[in-house]
Amino acid sequence: EVRPLAEVPGLDTENPVRQIFTLFYRSTSARRSELKFFVRDNFGREREMTVTFDLESTTAKE
């Protein structure tokens, strides 16, 4: 889902240095999950950041 920063509740739209938000994520898959973030600045430069999550096993090993 792509959302403009202006739609993020409580985000400081006047000062870009103060544009901090928290993203809560919980995977419902048993496989590795991956989130991709795309950031574009005012000059049109785009950066991509990928975050990968591995699930920890909750089953007992014998």
Average of per-residue pLDDT values in the chain: 77
pLDDT band at 57 (very low <50, low <70, confident <90, very high): low
Per-residue pLDDT for 61 more than 60? Answer: no
**DSSP code of residue 10:** T
For residue 36, is it within any domain?
Answer: yes
For residue 40, is it within any domain?
Answer: yes
CA distance 46 to 55: 30
Domain of 25 in residue numbering reads as 5-53
For residue 60, is it within any domain?
Answer: no
pLDDT digits (tens, 9 = 90+) for 31-55: 888 888 888 887 889 999 898 877 6
pTM over 0.75: no
> Which has the closest alpha carbon to 5: 40, 36, 47, 29?
40
For residue 31, is it within any domain?
Answer: yes
Q: How many domains does the chain have?
A: 1
* 3-state SS, residue 30: coil
For residue 58, is it within any domain?
Answer: no
Q: What percent of the chain has pLDDT over 90?
A: 6
Instruction: Please give the pLDDT value at position 48.
Output: 93
